[in-house]
């Protein structure tokens, strides 16, 4: 049975995110693991209203920021996936992990 580890990396700084993703891709390639991606998602712009008082009423303009997302899948090679997850990342880069068990065709 094979495991697929899906890594979702997000950051508000696209240059830092791309640098981290490139470092992961180089590491996975050096280890000889199979990797799919990185798959970029469209940037998401988030807006947060800012009020002058906690009771509402007057407000400042909304604060907005953009979140960039990249998705990488590591097929098999569980130890390589664990090493990638344990690596240091800049504070502004968030890592989400999903693990999926994939059955081979014809197996029960």
In a domain, 35, yes or no: yes
Task: Give domain status of residue 33, yes or no.
Answer: yes
The residues with which 2 forms a beta bridge, in sequence order, are: 102
Task: Assess if residue 21 is contained within a domain.
Answer: yes
- Residue 107 within a domain: no
Distance CA 78, CA 37 (A): 17
pTM for this model (two decimals):
0.81
Q: Average per-residue pLDDT in the chain?
A: 89
3 state SS for 16-79: HHHHHHHHHHHHHHHHCCEEEEEEEEEEEEEEEEEECCCCCCCEEEEEEEEEEEEEEEEECCHH
Name the token pair of 24: 């992961």
Tens digits of per-residue pLDDT, 18-32? 999 999 999 999 999
Q: What are phi and psi of 88, to 5 degrees?
A: -70, 140
Count of domains in the chain? 1
Query: Does residue 38 form part of some domain?
Result: yes
- Residue 105 clears pLDDT 70, i.e. is over it: no
Over residues 67-92, the pLDDT tens digits come to: 999 999 999 888 899 999 999 999 99
pLDDT mean over 29-49: 93
Which domain does 57 fall in, by range? 2-102
Inside any domain, residue 108:
no
User: Is 98's pLDDT higher than 70?
Assistant: yes
Least confident of 36-50, 57-71, 82-96: 57-71
Which CATH number goes with the domain that contains 10? 3.30.70.600
**Cβ 8 vs Cβ 82: under 8 Å:** no
């Amino acid at each position: 049975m094979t495991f697929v580890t899906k890594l979702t990396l997000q950051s508000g700084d696209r240059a830092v995110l791309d640098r981290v993703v490139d470092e992961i891709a180089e590491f996975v390639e050096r280890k000889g693991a199979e990797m799919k991606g990185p798959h970029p998602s469209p940037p998401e712009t988030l807006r947060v209203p800012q009020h002058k008082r906690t009771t509402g009423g007057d407000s400042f303009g909304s604060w907005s920021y953009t979140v960039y997302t990249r998705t990488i899948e590591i097929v098999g090679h569980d130890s390589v996936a664990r090493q990638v997850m344990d690596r240091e990342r800049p504070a502004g880069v968030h890592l989400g992990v999903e693990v999926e068990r994939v059955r081979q065709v014809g197996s029960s």
